[in-house]
């Protein structure tokens, strides 16, 4: 069974691996907003490792879901045009 710390660690790790793989492909600055966007997820994940509030974790999950959907369904359409 995974606890909040395990899930947070996996989230931070996958965020960093995504940045590393994007850098290896040479697209880390394309679009220019990608790196700050990805790094803010890492920062929130690290904060989530140290904050023990259940309310914070639920809010963080909702935020990540909302931002992820907005990025994939809205922002990418404007960036690709």
71 vs 73: CA distance, rounded Å: 6
Write out the residue range of the structural domain in which residue 35 sits.
4-80
Give the count of domains, the chain.
1
What is the predicted pLDDT for the residue at 75?
74
Residue by residue, pLDDT tens for the chain (81 residues) are: 667 678 888 889 998 998 898 888 887 777 788 888 889 989 999 998 899 888 998 999 899 999 989 888 887 777 665
DSSP assignments along the chain, one per residue: ---HHHHHHHHHHHHHHHHHHHHHTT-TTSSTTHHHHHHHHHHHHHHHHH---HHHHHHHHHHHHHHHHHIIIIIHHHHH-
What is the predicted pLDDT for the residue at 79?
67
Is 0.85 surpassed by the pTM of this model?
no
């Amino acid at each position: 069974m995974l606890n909040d710390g395990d899930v947070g660690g996996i989230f931070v790790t996958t965020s960093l691996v995504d940045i590393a793989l994007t850098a290896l492909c040479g697209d880390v600055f394309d679009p220019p907003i990608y790196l700050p966007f990805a790094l803010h997820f890492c920062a929130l994940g690290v904060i989530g490792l140290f904050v023990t509030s259940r309310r914070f974790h639920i809010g963080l999950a909702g935020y990540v879901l909302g931002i992820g959907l907005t990025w994939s369904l809205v922002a990418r359409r404007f960036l690709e045009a």
